[in-house]
Structure 1
């Protein structure tokens, strides 16, 4: 690793080591969604309809919705770059990042762990590595690295994030394919969300080193049933046969267990986004340290839960030179009033909306290139919420004189990262990393 890479990595770790956990149990308070930015009705036609819905108290928290929404819209969030007092972009970025890190309270994971290469082989024109590393807690993290077979030169790197999908039995395997007999569940998942495409393989074929690792607590990092009290697991066991029936049973149990996990993480002085960020930064360290990766040309992206991880990692770490967030973009107000019930605990951090609106977390990377891909009929968000998030990010990039480095696209259909969306994502990575 050259000196510039060391400095970049150490800076990221210093950010995390200095974080206070005092604010973890604070209450979500004033943020600003509607705020002082004029709304362009030509690109945000449903804004008035959304406001009308709020005024009618038709929302997830009933009569409290209008009060909470008005409270949020009293002013822009304290660390919004759209506020007039933030004129120095670097001073703003440092202050805002520190607030995000304080809110999510990431654990300190220490130095970069040793990486073990367990298996290497060629599949479908790609060199495949199955690797592991051990974090200070839990089972070893398993990951897959893909790159064009027989490539000799250093290549751009992509940290590819798998989705959530109420499926914790699988993680990395949801977006890769390494043999001709994939598990039926991952085949169905790729068909549902990716038009049958293992997108990590496809972008690797274009000339990238792609790393896909299991997030906490998915696949190799999942919670084992034998390690929780009997009253929580019932008659379920850690059956490793991977029969579809066993996979579905585990996924139902793991979904119900999320409430307990989230509460327990709060009690530990951290948060689910904080743990995700800490572990994903280790994966980024490992990708950037590889001899076959050009660490100055690294991107990240993913769908849904992978999009949420993109928001945080791309927003917080400048080593990510290009970001593609898919199917995970709206505002805190949209979550609060309409869609928190469609999302995992992994999305939420107390106090954070007081500091930045949700899209502004991703906006911390301005002026670095950022693509957001949305689906008009995505049930996880309202279309007005997605449109409003786009307006916020546009305003951030315009203020930084970097409008050409931000783009949001809206596709017909529901929650997915389909073939046409993938083509746009690959072209965006090619444009900025090659």
Structure 2
């Protein structure tokens, strides 16, 4: 008797051959694959808005620190939707600056990666799994912007605001509302990071040809997908995310914000991440990560190698598979971004 649906699900996955699984053998085939997959991926995300609202940016906080200035800004991304973000500007650096969009993972929002507690006080003691990576970037001379992804921190729903300091999010309710309307949380977050780049480009000190992106966990998803679709991002570091859908979000309990209806019909995760090629890409993953298993990350990286090799760009792909769990490493990441930006 087959009353339990295990075999049913396994067979469904095995019988689904992604239409745009990477099989290109030359540049022309790659170009067709890339263009077709980008189009259908945007559709699976729920589409991207055609028109843009005015940013109308405002600086709402500013603090001078030893090595950099920390601003908090607010700007429009969609009608009736505002983005909060921290901007870290290095001091005493002349000329145009490279910039990095730093995408936080699950937790209490962008404050966690800029060295702050939820109440705005400076962190002391344990710096957490994200290791203040936005601060590490600004200390190396990058202008850094850390957007507050919708559903976290100060961008939870009103009903969840009192619990946001504990890292509790509004992912579930926002996601199901979006799904019922043909949209996805991933799609909204990707679009908002695109608008974050629009805001970055209003800074005269930012070099538009040297913009990178780095993100971990859920922020790794946002970094990966935005970099795949927005070629203004010239180099990317994906931490604690690159894997296969089958071995991560389809096998291990994950937040609903990871799910994209119908995507397996068209591509697996490494195919989508492969849209970043031939731009520089570093994959960072802990060998003991319990929610993005390392063996599947190795499998995904092997697929990425094939894509970069077809493009003659193998030197622009690297990995940091470090001894550790679900956390930022930084062992290679910061130098990688310095090298390419």
TM-score where L is the length of structure 1: 0.71
Moved more, 261-270 or 308-317: 261-270
1:199 to 133, 145, 153: 133
Distance 2:91 2:191 in 1: 31
| Larger relative helix fraction | 1
Provide closer, same or farther for how the CA distance between residues 107 and 93 of structure 1 changes in structure 2, counting only shifts above 3 A.
closer
Measured against aligned partners, the alpha-carbon deviations of 1:354-382 in whole angstroms (never above 9, x if no partner) come to 21210221210211000001111100022
Distance 2:124 2:181 in 1: 37
Work out whether residues 54 and 76 of structure 2, in 8 Å CA contact, stay in contact via their aligned partners in 1: no
Measured against aligned partners, the alpha-carbon deviations of 1:227-251 in whole angstroms (never above 9, x if no partner) come to xxxxxx8xxxx55xxxxx8733xx5
Distance 1:67 1:400 in 2: 34
Residue 13 of structure 2 is matched in structure 1 by 69
Provide closer, same or farther for how the CA distance between residues 78 and 85 of structure 1 changes in structure 2, counting only shifts above 3 A.
farther
Task: Give yes or no for the alignment of 1:427 onto 2:335.
Answer: yes
Distance 2:272 2:171 in 1: 24
Measured against aligned partners, the alpha-carbon deviations of 1:221-280 in whole angstroms (never above 9, x if no partner) come to 21111xxxxxxx8xxxx55xxxxx8733xx55x4xx544332211122211111111111
Work out whether residues 107 and 270 of structure 1, in 8 Å CA contact, stay in contact via their aligned partners in 2: no
Residue 100 of structure 1 is matched in structure 2 by 41
CA deviation after TM superposition for structure 1 residue 183, in Å: 4.7
Residue 269 of structure 1 is matched in structure 2 by 182
| Larger relative strand fraction | 2
Residue 293 of structure 2 is matched in structure 1 by 382
Q: How does 1:19-98 map to 2 (within 5 A)?
A: 62-72=6-16, 75=17, 77-83=18-24, 87-98=28-39
Residue 23 of structure 1 is matched in structure 2 by none
Distance 1:362 1:267 in 2: 26
Work out whether residues 99 and 142 of structure 2, in 8 Å CA contact, stay in contact via their aligned partners in 1: yes
Provide closer, same or farther for how the CA distance between residues 139 and 357 of structure 1 changes in structure 2, counting only shifts above 3 A.
closer
Work out whether residues 46 and 183 of structure 2, in 8 Å CA contact, stay in contact via their aligned partners in 1: yes
Work out whether residues 127 and 150 of structure 1, in 8 Å CA contact, stay in contact via their aligned partners in 2: no
Residue 171 of structure 1 is matched in structure 2 by 109
CA deviation after TM superposition for structure 1 residue 91, in Å: 2.9
Work out whether residues 371 and 425 of structure 1, in 8 Å CA contact, stay in contact via their aligned partners in 2: yes
- Please tell me whether Structure 1 or Structure 2 has the larger radius of gyration of its CA atoms: 1
Distance 1:246 1:178 in 2: 14
1:123 to 50, 62, 65: 65
SS where residue 422 of structure 1 aligns? coil
Task: Give yes or no for the alignment of 1:316 onto 2:260.
Answer: no
Distance 1:246 1:399 in 2: 45
Provide closer, same or farther for how the CA distance between residues 312 and 85 of structure 1 changes in structure 2, counting only shifts above 3 A.
same
Moved more, 92-101 or 321-330: 92-101
Q: How does 1:5-24 map to 2 (within 5 A)?
A: none
Distance 2:147 2:287 in 1: 29
Residue 281 of structure 1 is matched in structure 2 by 194
Residue 284 of structure 2 is matched in structure 1 by 373
1:247 to 157, 160, 165: 165
Distance 1:112 1:359 in 2: 34
Provide closer, same or farther for how the CA distance between residues 61 and 291 of structure 1 changes in structure 2, counting only shifts above 3 A.
farther
Work out whether residues 213 and 223 of structure 2, in 8 Å CA contact, stay in contact via their aligned partners in 1: yes
Work out whether residues 288 and 298 of structure 1, in 8 Å CA contact, stay in contact via their aligned partners in 2: no
TM-score where L is the length of structure 2: 0.90
CA deviation after TM superposition for structure 1 residue 112, in Å: 4.5
Q: How does 1:201-240 map to 2 (within 5 A)?
A: 201-225=135-159, 238-239=161-162
Distance 1:394 1:276 in 2: 27
